[in-house]
Amino acid sequence: MIGRLQGLLAEKNPPQVLVDCHGVGYEVDVPMSTFYNLPALGERVTLLTHFIVREDAQLLYGFGTAAERNTFRQLIKISGVGPRTALGVLSGLGVADLAQAVTLQESGRLIKVPGIGKKIAERLLLELKGKLGADIGPHQGATTDHQADILQALLALGYSDKEAAAALKALPQDVGVSDGIKLALKALSKA
């Protein structure tokens, strides 16, 4: 029903913002990825929205990009995932990171998001496979498997997602798992 809001940013109280549209203030819940990209108070803002009507509430969710809104809509279609959980996933990972986690079937990255347990993480990976993971682009099967194994090893050793992903990008494409882990650890120790 309400697909887009354009107006002045009146308030910012994470995860909620107030958008003044010609004298009418709309309370909109946004993921942190959108929140961090908002302009200063009093400036014009445009948000793509998703409107949910429940028996006890009418809720408006806002997004800075169409990809965020589409991902949110995919997430809330999954049994056991409500709008709050979907916002949490987008706030914790972002669209690109979520797509990568789905492509590589990494439940460990999803479990790190508050409110996501092992069962929900596995359901997300299963339900989103083919819908979200394809956003990353084509991968070669063997290389993807090696990269996924190296990434899992780095995460198990206590490195953050960002550190592990950065180390993985620096590796040659055709590296084996054990050599890849050694090279990644060497690169991380220098950082």
What is the tens place of the pLDDT at every residue in 23-77?
999 999 999 989 999 999 999 999 999 999 999 999 999 999 999 999 999 999 9
Rounded CA separation 125/101 (Å)? 8
pLDDT at 9: 96
Highest mean pLDDT range out of 20-24, 121-125, 126-130, 170-174?
Answer: 20-24
Bond preceding residue 15 cis, omega within 30 of 0: yes
User: What band does 188 get if pLDDT is binned at 50, 70 and 90?
Assistant: confident
Spatial separation of the C-alpha atoms in residues 74 and 95, rounded to whole Å: 11
Give the ranges where the chain is alpha helix by DSSP (H).
Answer: 32-35, 66-76, 83-92, 95-103, 107-111, 118-128, 141-156, 161-169, 177-190
| 186 pLDDT above the threshold of 90 | no
Instruction: Give me the percent of the chain exceeding a pLDDT of 90.
Output: 43
Q: Which class for 99: exposed (0-12), middle (13-18), buried (19 or more C-beta within 10 A)?
A: buried
Residue pLDDT, tens place only, 11-22: 999 899 999 999
Cα–Cα distance between 43 and 114 in angstroms, integer?
Answer: 31
| CB 106 within 8 Å of CB 118 | no
Task: Centre a 10 Å sphere on the Cβ of residue 150 and count the other Cβ atoms it contains.
Answer: 25
Token pair recorded at residue 120: 């929900």
Pairing state between β 58-63 and 4-13: unpaired
Model pTM score: 0.69
Provide the 10 A C-beta neighbour count for residue 53: 8
DSSP-based three-state secondary structure for 114: coil
Task: Look up residue 133 and give its DSSP letter.
Answer: G
